[in-house]
Amino acid sequence: TSLAASAAAALLSSESAVAFSSTNLGVSRCRLSSTSKYINNISGSIQHHQQHTSTTLHLGDFFNFGKASNEEETSPPPPTPEEEAAQTGYVDDEDPIEKIFGVFFGKKEAEPMGMKRFGQERFPEQYPAVLDEWADPVETDDREMALLRPLLKNTNLETRGLRLTYDANRDGWDPVSFHSKVDKQGGAIVFCTTRAGIQCGGYNPKGWVGYGEARGSIAAFLYILGGKHAASGAPAIKLRKVGGPGLAQMDLPESGPSFSPDALVIPLGKDGRVARSKLGSYYERLPDGTNSLFGKDSSVQLRDLKVYHGVYEEGEYIP
């Protein structure tokens, strides 16, 4: 009897468990069906939204998150450094190091304490001579000045009228006559013609004073008009000062023009019309390696020697 009662109780418990499981399974199926319907509704909404809106993301979207967008609004272009300087009195053409210092000391002023900044436009002769740019004509130039004018790009004489201060055939082939005409007249361009017809010379930014000193300038240069060494379409070839500005000009009272101790030396005096040239130590060599302005000759006889200075008003500062 006890065994029969136990079996009956076990059978009842099993039937109850099956019924409970069936009930739970039905509930789960009901919940799964509801969830599927909910997901389908969301998917339909997303698809409908995608048909009417763009989901393309850009880098800037991460920084504008939560901000209203206005596609029609366009920002104006940033001002140029010149415009910014005019508006604010500051310039923004700094390199990274200057920007770091600017964090601590402020932005660089365009004209600190009312003084203009140093630059090539304001002080052109603090830089080496330009080789591929040429000065425009000046109305007062005569035929010979017009030949020399293109060479004066980025010099103090670029736009200034010229005057012939020394002509050896007119004033004499001697150092005294030379210095009496050229001393304390400012920068000048020397122009000479050899008996073989080579037209050459040099630009002396510092001029002469006749004190027996070596005068330095990185802007000094030698030149040859025309010829095979000039680039196509160029009026001349220019040879820069090398090795720094030192000894650009030997200003000796007992000598004529001397560009360094050896690049272009015209002694005058007892040497008469002799000119000597040795390039490489103080001024550039010619492109093919030639080390003389006169080609294969290191010394030649001159037919003409002239010096042109700038025209200055009475009392005007002569650099």
* 141-154: pLDDT as tens digits: 999 999 999 999 99
- Sign for the CA dihedral angle at 100, 106, 111, 116 comes to negative
Q: Which two tokens stand for residue 88?
A: 């604010």
- Rounded Cα gap, residues 10 and 18, in angstroms: 12
Angle subtended at Cα 294 by Cα 174 and Cα 197, rounded to the nearest 5 degrees: 75
List the one residue out of 277, 259, 294, 302 whose CA is nearest residue 173: 302
Position 319 scores a pLDDT of 85
DSSP string, 243-301: SSSTTSEEE-TTSS-EETTTTEE---GGGTTEEE---SSSBPPPTT----TTTT-SEEE
Position 103 scores a pLDDT of 73
**Tokens 């600017």 belong to residue:** 102
H helical segments located in the chain: 2-52, 59-63, 81-88, 96-105, 143-148, 168-171, 175-182
- Rounded Cα gap, residues 133 and 221, in angstroms: 14
Digits of tens for pLDDT over the chain (319 positions)?
A: 454 455 445 544 544 544 444 445 454 454 545 555 555 555 555 555 555 545 555 555 555 555 555 544 566 777 665 565 556 555 555 667 777 777 777 666 656 666 655 555 666 788 999 999 999 999 999 999 999 999 999 999 999 999 999 999 999 999 999 999 999 999 999 999 999 999 999 999 999 999 999 999 999 999 999 999 999 999 999 999 999 999 999 999 999 999 999 999 999 988 889 999 999 999 999 999 999 999 999 999 999 999 999 999 999 999 8
For residue 311, what are the contacts with CB-CB under 8 A and spacing of at least 6? Answer: 140, 160, 161, 162, 163
Position 47 scores a pLDDT of 57
Provide the whole-model pTM. 0.66
Burial track 213-251 (b if 16+ CB lie within 10 A, e otherwise): eebebbbbbbbbbeeebeeeeebbbbbebbeebebbbbb
CB burial class (10 A; 0-12, 13-18, 19+) of residue 297? middle
Cβ atoms of 130 and 154 closer than 8 Å: yes
**Tokens 């009195």 belong to residue:** 89
Q: Which two tokens stand for residue 162?
A: 């010229």
Position 11 scores a pLDDT of 45
Position 95 scores a pLDDT of 66
Please write the tens of the pLDDT for every residue from 92-118: 556 677 777 777 776 666 566 666 555
Strand 236-240 relative to strand 199-204: parallel, antiparallel, unpaired? Answer: unpaired
Strand (E) or helix (H) holding 203: strand 199-204
Position 99 scores a pLDDT of 74
Question: What is the amino acid identity at position 38?
Answer: Y
Angle subtended at Cα 250 by Cα 247 and Cα 254, rounded to the nearest 5 degrees: 165
Average pLDDT, the chain: 81
Position 20 scores a pLDDT of 43
Cβ atoms of 230 and 237 closer than 8 Å: yes
Position 260 scores a pLDDT of 97
